[in-house]
Amino acid sequence: MTTAQIFNLQGKVALVTGASSGLGARFAEVLAENGASVVLVARRAERLAALRAQIEKSGGKAIAVEADVRDRRAMANAFDAAEKNFGTVTILVNNAGVAHAGRAVELAEEEWRRILATNLDAVFFCAQEAARRMLAAKSGGSIVNIASVLGFGVDKGVIAYATAKAGVIQLTKALALELAFKGIRVNAIAPGWIVTELNRDYLQTERGAAIKREIPIGRFGEERDLDGPLLLLASDAGRFVTGATIVADGGQMVALRG
Ligand SMILES: NC(=O)c1ccc[n+]([C@@H]2O[C@H](COP(=O)([O-])OP(=O)(O)OC[C@H]3O[C@@H](n4cnc5c(N)ncnc54)[C@H](OP(=O)(O)O)[C@@H]3O)[C@@H](O)[C@H]2O)c1
C-alpha cells in the first residue's frame, strides 16, 4: 500500500448528516470520490436528490434519506436504509448544525432548546446509533463530529451555539475513550470561518471584513479546505488518532490567544 492509498475508502459506508448544503454536501462528495458509498441525510429532499445524482454521475455510490437529525426514529430508519443498500455504516459525519444570533438575556427558551437539540443532542444520539451498529457488526469505524472554534472560545450573541459546540468537543473525547478498544475512533473538526450558506451574507458585511483581518492566513475558509482533515479522520490514515479535535481556522485561534 502506498501512502496515498491510506486515504482510500473503498468498501466503507459513510453517513453524512446535513448533506443538503455547505460543508456536509462537500464532505459527501469527498467521501464518495475516495471510494465510500454515501448516505445523504437532511430535511431538504430535493437538494439531496440533486447531490445523489451528481455523485452517481461522477461514478460514486449514494442514496438520499430525508430525515430530521432530532428525530431518533427517522435516524434509525436512515441507518437501516444504509444497511439495506450498502452495509453497516463505518463512517459517520455528524455535520448537521444550525446557528443563531442573539444576546443571552434575550434568548427564548425554545431557541436555546432548538440549537442544543440539533447541535449537541442529535450529535450524541446519532453517534450512539452508529456505535451500537458498528459494535453489533464488529466492523469498527470512524465517527467525525463537526464542532467549531466557538467550542473553544466565545463571541457575543452565540451562547447556545458555543455551548453546544463545546459539548461536542467533550462528547468526542468521552466517546473516543469508551469505544477505542472496539476499534471505533471518534474525532472532531473545529472549523473557523468557512464561507457557506450559513454565513455568506454576514461575511460580506463590514463586520465580516473586520473578522477577515483577524485571520492570520488572510482569507476566509472554503469548503474544500476541510477535505484533508476529513479524509485523515475518516480513513486508515488516521488509524492512531482518536479523541482529537482538529482545528482548521486559518490560524484565527492562535492569534486570539497570542
Ligand atoms: N461555515 C462555517 O463557518 C462553520 C464554522 C464552524 C462550524 N460549522 C459547522 O459546520 C456544520 C455545517 O455548517 P454549514 O456552514 O455547512 O451550514 P449550512 O450550509 O447551513 O448547512 C447546515 C446543514 O445542516 C442541515 N440541518 C440543519 N438542521 C437539521 C436537522 N434538524 N435535521 C437534519 N439536517 C439539518 C441542513 O439541512 P436541511 O436544512 O436540508 O435539513 C444543512 O444541510 C454545522 O455543524 C456548523 O455548525 C460551520
The answer to whether the CB of 93 is under 6 A from ligand 1 is no
Mean local confidence (pLDDT), 68-78: 98
Start-end of H helices in the chain: 22-33, 45-57, 72-85, 109-116, 122-137, 159-179, 200-203, 206-213, 227-234, 252-257
CATH architecture of 10-257: 3-Layer(aba) Sandwich (3.40)
In this prediction the pTM is 0.98
SS3 of residue 246 by DSSP = strand
In the chain the first and final C-alpha atoms are separated, in Å, by 41
pLDDT in tens, 113-133: 999 999 999 999 999 999 999
Ligand 1 atom showing the smallest separation from residue 99 Cα: 47
If you ran DSSP here, which 8-state letter would residue 197 be given?
A: T
Domain ranges of the chain: 10-257
Ligand 1 centroid vs 96 CA: distance in angstroms? 4
Q: Is-catalytic flag, 202?
A: no
Ligand 1 centroid–CA 10 distance in Å is: 26
Cα–Cα dist 158/178, whole Å = 30
Residue type, 80: D
Contact 215, 252 (CB under 8 A): yes
**Taking residues 134-153, what's their average pLDDT?**
98
Average pLDDT over residues 54-58: 98
